[in-house]
Structure formats: structure tokens, C-alpha cells
């Protein structure tokens, strides 16, 4: 028989045990929920919406003058005088170099003397033919003699013309001994010195003369880049698209921005078979002469887009040639989505495919996410005119 105090003690022990078991169970559930919450990361998301954007594409360029003329000797001889210095600005027709002309002057004098002798012989032949005219008319001499005399006169005139041509050729060679500027511009490097022997077939030029009053920035586009170019700018013809390109900015190799804007002037008529690219040329004014042939830099071509989707570059992953975002789907699950990029606007990509308005993407922490993972979405993305939000029921 159990006494009442003993029963009470036993009942109390059971109650305390149940209470402890319940407490342990609740504690375990709380820890499990806490661990589960810790396993579900809270990440910022962004609902993408159409907006307007401007994009600037940069291309490496080399600069060329309006005319880059290689100055080469056209006769053989010793370099007698260098009449300019490297970097000099010269006018068209200004003497630059002088080659020893003694041989060519004597050749010209000889040719000129031969011309005069031939002309004298032609004059004598003409007189001889004219003397026979009345004799033939009076039947003093046979007509065949007059015919022969006139043939001799024609031969003499031909020899005189040949001698005159030789004299003119000698005069040209003599003129080549003074090398003049074919265009106005700036003198480049001069690798030769007075006394050097020059030949008309030598591989190295005496110098390069650059007309830099107007400069050209030359660069190229790939086939895909050219296709994008044609889509961006309005116009029915290629010339209309070229005219639609806004003023072009030039950044020099030291990072400074050139103070004068340029204008896209032309696009090559065909692709280079070896590189698969097509050439473009932008013209820049150069009134101060700051730009020189051979300079390098970067040109920026700008364009405007309407009703496009912007995605922060920081919210994307690149794998080989693909750009991907992390899309938020039903149940706050994530999945990778490949997007087509038309260009860049600031820190954002301009998306031309792969997303539609209202889609929600994860903007941070995407490197550690796998398809199918669940996250806690937080409003907090950042793209121009894009609205942060949680996914709607129709999200993919």
C-alpha cells in the first residue's frame, strides 16, 4: 500500500520528467529552425524593368596623318646636304635634301648639246629639200631626189625630237638631285647623314613627311561587332548610319582626353580575310599639332537605347563566352539564366535577350548559389531605372 506522501513524490517525479522531455523537444525544434534559417541566405534581389540607356564602346586605335609620304631618292648619288631638321614644319615644294649633282649636270649639258646639234641637222635637211622644189618643177632634177630629201628632213626632225627628249630626261634627273616636299607637313626621323651614298632602289626612306592638319584614327570591328553597329544606329543606308554616329571622343595613351571631338568618316568596303574584321576611320581636327602619326589611343563610340533592360555587371557571372544571371523563381528558388548582352552603360549590362520585364534576379552572393537553392529575397538591387521587388507569381 502506497501512502499519500509517497504517491505525491512519485507523481511529481513523473511530471518533472515530462516537463524536462518537453523542454528538450522544444529546444531541439528551435535549434533546428534556427539552423534551417541560417542555411537559407538572405540576399538582395532586383525586379528588372525597361528603361533608356546610353552606351559607349571603346576601341584601340592608331593615328595617321592626312598624308604620310615616304621621302625616297629617285637618283643615285652622295647625300650632299640635309636642309631640314627632324620635327620641322615644311611647306609643299620646300627643298629637304640635296644630292651631289655634278654627274647629272654634265649629263644634262651633253644631252642639251646633242639636242642642238640634231636640231641644226634638221634645219639643214629642210633647206636641202626646199632647194629641190623649183628644180623639180622646172624638170632640172628628177622628182625622186626631192622625195629623198624630204625623207632625210623627216629623219633629221625625228633625231632632233629624240635628242630633245633625252635632254628633258637629263633635266628631270638633275632636278631629282634636290628632293622637295610633295606636301606640307612635319618631318619625321632622318636616319641618314651627310656623305651617305643613296640609291633610287634603297629599302629605307630618307624620312617621312606627315600632313597632320587633320588626323585619322583607324580601328577595326569584328563581324559580330559590325552587325551590332548596324543595329544600333538608324538609317536605311550605310552612309546614313555613319552620319547618325554621335561625335567621337579620343583618349590618348597617357589617359588624357583630346579636346576636339572626331567624326566617323568611313567604313571599309570589305572584311579583311586574314583577320575577319572590317576597318573604320574617324577624322579629328589637329589645329595645335598635338597629334602625330603613329600615336595610339582609344576612341569611344556612343549610342542610345530605348526600352531596354539593364542588369548590374556585379549581378552576372561569365563562363567562357556566356554571361549569366541568377533568376529568382517560384518558392524563392534560384536558377542560372544565360543573357544576351548588347553593350554596357556605366556599371550595367544592356540586355537584349534572356530576360523579360518583371523578372527578378539576385544581385549579390550569386557565386555560391546552385540551381534549386532557396533564398530569402531582400529588396536592394541597383541598376538605372530598375525597381527592386520580390518575385511575382508568374516568374519563371
- Give the model confidence (pLDDT) of 114-138 as tens digits: 999 999 999 999 999 999 889 888 8
Give yes or no for a contact between 383 and 47, defined as CB atoms under 8 angstroms apart. Answer: no
pLDDT at 4: 45
Angstrom distance (rounded) from CA 117 to CA 166: 13
Question: Is residue 316 over pLDDT 50?
Answer: yes
Q: Indicate if the pLDDT at residue 56 is higher than 90.
A: no
For the entire predicted model, the pTM comes to 0.55
Give per-residue pLDDT as tens, 76-120: 999 999 999 998 989 999 999 999 999 999 999 999 999 999 999
Comparing 339 with 321, the larger pLDDT belongs to: 339
- Residue 125's SS3 state is helix
**Sign of CA pseudo-dihedral 36, 37, 41, 46:** positive
Rounded CA-CA distance 63/71 in Å is 20
What percent of the chain has pLDDT above 70? 86
Looking at residues 137-145, what average pLDDT do you find? 88
Contact 337, 354 (CB under 8 A): yes
Residue 83, pLDDT score: 96
The predicted structure's pLDDT at residue 339: 93
**Residue corresponding to grid cell 633647206:** 127
What gap in Å lies between CA 278 and CA 270, rounded to an integer? 6
* Residue 388: band (very low, low, confident or very high) from pLDDT cuts 50, 70, 90: very low
Looking at 42-51, 370-379, 382-391, which range is the least confident one?
Answer: 382-391
| pLDDT number for residue 395 | 41
Q: Vertex 114, ends 110 and 119: CA angle to 5°?
A: 150
Which residues neighbour 171 within 8 Å (Cβ) at sequence distance 6 or greater?
108, 111
Q: Positive or negative CA dihedral for 58, 63, 65, 69?
A: negative
* The C-alpha cell that represents 42 in the structure block: 538572405
Report the Cα 96 to chain-centroid distance in Å. Answer: 33
pLDDT band at 16 (very low <50, low <70, confident <90, very high): low
Q: Which of 224-233, 246-255, 261-270 has the lowest mean pLDDT?
A: 224-233
Helix, strand, coil content of the chain in percent (nearest 5)? 35, 35, 30
Dig out the grid coordinates for 175 from the structure. 632636278
pLDDT at 392 over 70: no
Residue 3 has what pLDDT? 47
Spatial distance between the Cα atoms of 316 and 43, rounded to a whole number of angstroms: 14
State the average pLDDT over residues 53-72.
87
344 Cβ neighbours under 8 A, 6+ residues apart? 55, 56, 57, 313, 350
Continuous segment of H or E residues that includes residue 263: strand 263-267
Q: What is the 3-state secondary structure (H, E, C) of 26-64?
A: HHHHHHHHHHHHHHCCEEEEEECCEEEEEEEEEEEEEEE
Distance CA 286, CA 22 (A): 87
Domains of the chain by start residue, with CATH: 42-53+306-379 (2.40.420.20), 101-176 (1.10.287)
C-beta pairs of 78-84 under 8 Å, 24+ apart in sequence: 78/195, 78/196, 78/197, 78/198, 79/192, 79/193, 79/194, 79/195, 79/196, 79/197, 79/198, 80/194, 81/194, 82/190, 82/192, 82/193, 82/194, 84/187, 84/190
Which residues in 248-284 are b (16+ Cβ under 10 Å) and which e? bbbeeeeeeebeeebebbebeeebeeeeebbbbbbbb
- 147 φ, ψ (degrees, to nearest 5): -60, -45
All 3 cell numbers of residue 58?
A: 571603346
Rg of the chain's alpha carbons, rounded to an integer? 44
Inter-CA distances, 375 with 43, 338, 379, 395, Å:
7, 20, 12, 15
Task: Name the strand (E) or helix (H) holding 66.
Answer: strand 50-71
Grid coordinates representing 307 are 526600352
Distance of alpha carbon 310 from alpha carbon 341, whole angstroms: 10
| Residue with the three cell numbers 621621302 | 71
- Rounded Cα–Cα distance for residues 290 and 260 (Å): 11
Amino acid at each position: 500500500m502506497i501512502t499519500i506522501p509517497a504517491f505525491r513524490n512519485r507523481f511529481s517525479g513523473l511530471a518533472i520528467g515530462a516537463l524536462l522531455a518537453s523542454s528538450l523537444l522544444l529546444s531541439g525544434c528551435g535549434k533546428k529552425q534556427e539552423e534551417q534559417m541560417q542555411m537559407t541566405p538572405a540576399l538582395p534581389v532586383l525586379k528588372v524593368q525597361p528603361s533608356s540607356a546610353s552606351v559607349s564602346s571603346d576601341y584601340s586605335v592608331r593615328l595617321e596623318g592626312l598624308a604620310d609620304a615616304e621621302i625616297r631618292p629617285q637618283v643615285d648619288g652622295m647625300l650632299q646636304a640635309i636642309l631640314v631638321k627632324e620635327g620641322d614644319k615644311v611647306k609643299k615644294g620646300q627643298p629637304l635634301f640635296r644630292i651631289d649633282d655634278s654627274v647629272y649636270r654634265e649629263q644634262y649639258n651633253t644631252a642639251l648639246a646633242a639636242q642642238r646639234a640634231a636640231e641644226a641637222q634638221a634645219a639643214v635637211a629642210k633647206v636641202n629639200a626646199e632647194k629641190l622644189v623649183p628644180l623639180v618643177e622646172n624638170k632640172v632634177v628628177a622628182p625622186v631626189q626631192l622625195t629623198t630629201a624630204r625623207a632625210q628632213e623627216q629623219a633629221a626632225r625625228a633625231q632632233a625630237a629624240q635628242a630633245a627628249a633625252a635632254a628633258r630626261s637629263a633635266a628631270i634627273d638633275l632636278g631629282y638631285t634636290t628632293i622637295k616636299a610633295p606636301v606640307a607637313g612635319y618631318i619625321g626621323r632622318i636616319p641618314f647623314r651627310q656623305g651617305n651614298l643613296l640609291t633610287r632602289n634603297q629599302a629605307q626612306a630618307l624620312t617621312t613627311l606627315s600632313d597632320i592638319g587633320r588626323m585619322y584614327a583607324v580601328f577595326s570591328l569584328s563581324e559580330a561587332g559590325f552587325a551590332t553597329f548596324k543595329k544600333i544606329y538608324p538609317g536605311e543606308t550605310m552612309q546614313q548610319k555613319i552620319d547618325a554616329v554621335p561625335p567621337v571622343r579620343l583618349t590618348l595613351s597617357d589617359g588624357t582626353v583630346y579636346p576636339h571631338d572626331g567624326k566617323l568618316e568611313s567604313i571599309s568596303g570589305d572584311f579583311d580575310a586574314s583577320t575577319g574584321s572590317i576597318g573604320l576611320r574617324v577624322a579629328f581636327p589637329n589645329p595645335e599639332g598635338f597629334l602625330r602619326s603613329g600615336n595610339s589611343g582609344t576612341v569611344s563610340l556612343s549610342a542610345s537605347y530605348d526600352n531596354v533592360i539593364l542588369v548590374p555587371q556585379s549581378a552576372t557571372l561569365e563562363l567562357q563566352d556566356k554571361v549569366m544571371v541568377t533568376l529568382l523563381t517560384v518558392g524563392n528558388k534560384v536558377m542560372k539564366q544565360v543573357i544576351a548582352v548588347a553593350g554596357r552603360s556605366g556599371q550595367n549590362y544592356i540586355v537584349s535577350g534572356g530576360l523579360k520585364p518583371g523578372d527578378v534576379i539576385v544581385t549579390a552572393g550569386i557565386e555560391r548559389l546552385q540551381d534549386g537553392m532557396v533564398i530569402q529575397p531582400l529588396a536592394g538591387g541597383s541598376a538605372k531605372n530598375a525597381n527592386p521587388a520580390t518575385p511575382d507569381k508568374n516568374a519563371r
